[in-house]
Amino acid sequence: MSLRNRDGGEGGAGKITRRGLILTAAQLGFMGLLAARLRYLQVTEAEEFRLLAEENRINIRLLPPARGLIFDRDGRPIAENQQNYRIVVVRENAGDVAAILDRLSRLIPLGPEDHAAALKELKRRSAFVPVTVAEHLTWEQVASVSANAPALPGVSAEVGLSRHYPRDRDFAHIVGYVGRVTENDLNREDDQDPLLQIPKFQIGKTGVELKAERLLRGFAGTRRIEVNALGRVMREIDRKEGKSGTDLHLTVDSALQNYLMARMDGQSASAVVMDVKEGDLLAIGSTPSFDPNKFVTGISVADYKALNDDPFIPLSSKSVLGTYPPGSTFKMMVALAALEDGVIAPDETVTCRGYHELGNQRFHCWKRGGHGRVNLKDSLKQSCDVYYYEVAQRVGIEKISAMAARFGLGERHDLPLNGIASGLLPTKEWKERVIGEPWRIGDSLNAGIGQGFVLASPLQLATMAARIASGRAVVPKLLRAVDGVQTIVAEAAPLGIASSSLAAVREGMFAVSNETGGTAYSTRIAEKSMRLAGKTGTSQVRRITESERRQGIVRNEDLPWERRDHALFVCYAPVDNPRYAVSVVIEHGGGGSAFAAPVARDIMLEALYAGPPPPEAYPASQRTRISNERKKLNLRSEGA
């Protein structure tokens, strides 16, 4: 009995010992594996996990750079940065965001639309990201918010920079304006700058602001901040300031630009002033204009609708985007094509009876009774249409268009402006391809007086006048210096036109403004050292029927505005040593001699004298009237 108990007890003890050994071995093996894994993580992979932990703890945020400034040729600011007081809200600190915005609306301008937009933006962004809900506030408004800080959790005031245009309407079509980044901007593949992700960041939308955006924007700075597990900022570790945008100096003159805009005020008009040697654009105006500052702060629906519905199209830059039949200002191109081709000589005459017959069709001159026998000089001086019908028929459209192209017409000039028009110089191939009809001789006759299919912009017409004056392929230029370094432009190449041909055309343009009987003689410059050479133009926008001619052509002033003729004038001065070229187009203004020429003459004098011209520059009979008219102009004071 005792033996069995002893044997059974000894057998159980043996079994327990073996099981213990197995368990112990398994435990030791597991602990060994755990130790090896810990060693791998703590030693071998320590650097990688340290970096991961650091990235979770440290955030990098972008600092928007100061936008580059834009100046005129003399260093006057035309696009600058101003302090912008704004209110930001952090959703995680604000609690009931809607209630906070309601309280804010009692202290600052925050309408229902702003309230809704702010709520949408706050919900779209992470809870810890500060979102701007109001900006462009006064110091008093910011102080009011700060004084009520205990009742506005998550709300804080910040100071940033905002674009401002001190000369507002004068440069709206040149400089353009900036606006907030849109979804379209973000989706552009050619611009993936992370700065565009900053809420309410602004970029150029039109004009130089748009075309020089990459230069003006600058490069972002960064700041490293420590955040907790929820993303809340604990402290700033370091900061690296960005690089401000590049400053630009344009070729335009603020004072001349202001005069040009004031002189055309109240009309749907455009004008360009160009240096005939360097190509500098001293003024580019289009009226009416608009205040670009409204677009920076967010233009109202009512204001935008008023601009969009205005028949004078204030949002469009007519000086570079508008194209018009050049009318008689195109006659110099026809004359040069004929002279260079040898189909006419300067002293050869053509008889004008008031019309030119082509088959059974008559092409009329503006002077019903005709001009009699006229040579090249007289044809320009009196703007005889019949002379140019005859010449255009001899030389043909191909050579006319080719000559006009040498003088900058039909060319989309490369400037930092959006919406630059190329105009149109028709050819036989063009008409067949675009209209699907063959070219006819009548088409050439219409082109001979700048009508028909021919189209040109005021910029192109100024370039044409500058090239006639200089005899060189001068190119219009708008950018004068980048970050203080002046842009260098090589001297323009000669046009390759015979000096005798240019001299004949210049003589005719001189007669237009300086000889009795010239179409612009009444708007001449009296000071001999400043005399100009020019050409009037009147382009029709409607067809005058034979029936109307028999009954009497309806006067422009008796027609609806949109059916009246365009008034044009191109010129350069001084005649003996040309410095500037000017083009003026007044939409539906009427005759070029009566409406466009006086504006161009006054702008030219302002450029020549770099300010108000002396009374002696005007004909004696006009001095009192012009002095009184000048006083009514909305001109800025010197230095403003």
Q: Are 574 and 613 in contact (CB under 8 A)?
A: no
User: How far separated are the first and last CA of the chain, in Å rounded?
Assistant: 126
Distance in angstroms (rounded) separating the CA atoms of residues 332 and 346 = 12
Structure tokens at 549: 């001619």
- Give 397: exposed, middle or buried? Use CB within 10 Å, 0-12, 13-18, 19+: buried
* CATH topology assigned to domain 254-296+316-631: Beta-lactamase (3.40.710)
Treating both helix axes as pointing N-terminal to C-terminal, what angle do 385-395 and 441-448 enclose, rounded to 10 degrees? 130
Q: Which of 331, 401, 338 is nearest to 366 (CA)?
A: 331
User: What pLDDT score was predicted for residue 125?
Assistant: 74
Residue 56: pLDDT above 70? no
- Looking at per-residue confidence, does 262 or 227 come out higher? 262
Question: Could you report the per-residue pLDDT of 337-362, keeping only the tens digit for each?
Answer: 999 999 999 999 999 999 999 998 99
Cα–Cα distances (Å) from 551 to 548, 554, 579, in that order, read 5, 9, 47
Confidence of residue 496 (pLDDT cuts 50, 70, 90): very high
CA atoms within 13 A on the CB side of 514: 22
Least trusted range by pLDDT, from 22-36, 60-74, 248-262, 566-580: 22-36
Confidence of residue 283 (pLDDT cuts 50, 70, 90): very high
Question: Could you report the per-residue pLDDT of 304-330, keeping only the tens digit for each?
Answer: 999 999 999 999 999 999 999 999 999
Residue 47: pLDDT above 70? no
In this prediction, residues 576-603 reach a mean pLDDT of: 96
Q: Are 319 and 476 in contact (CB under 8 A)?
A: no
Treating both helix axes as pointing N-terminal to C-terminal, what angle do 499-514 and 458-470 enclose, rounded to 10 degrees? 120
In this prediction, residues 386-402 reach a mean pLDDT of: 98
User: What pLDDT score was predicted for residue 158?
Assistant: 80
Other beta carbons within 10 angstroms of residue 132's beta carbon come to 17
Residue 335: pLDDT above 90? yes
Confidence of residue 40 (pLDDT cuts 50, 70, 90): low
For 589, phi then psi, to 5°, come to: -85, -20
Residues 244, 286, 289, 328: which is the catalytic one?
328
User: What pLDDT score was predicted for residue 24?
Assistant: 74
Residue 188: pLDDT above 90? no
User: Would you list the domain boundaries of the chain?
Assistant: 60-249, 254-296+316-631
Question: Could you report the per-residue pLDDT of 161-175, keeping only the tens digit for each?
Answer: 899 999 999 999 999
User: What pLDDT score was predicted for residue 7?
Assistant: 47
Relative to beta strand 269-275, strand 77-90 is: unpaired
Return the CATH architecture of domain 60-249.
Alpha-Beta Complex (3.90)
328 labelled catalytic:
yes
User: What pLDDT score was predicted for residue 8?
Assistant: 47
Residue 545: pLDDT above 70? no
Distance in angstroms (rounded) separating the CA atoms of residues 47 and 106 = 53
Residue 2: pLDDT above 80? no
Distance in angstroms (rounded) separating the CA atoms of residues 238 and 344 = 78
User: What pLDDT score was predicted for residue 471?
Assistant: 97
Least trusted range by pLDDT, from 35-49, 266-280, 615-629: 35-49
User: What pLDDT score was predicted for residue 3?
Assistant: 42
Average pLDDT across the chain, whole number: 89
Structure tokens at 464: 């044409």
- Looking at per-residue confidence, does 28 or 638 come out higher? 28
In this prediction, residues 207-223 reach a mean pLDDT of: 92
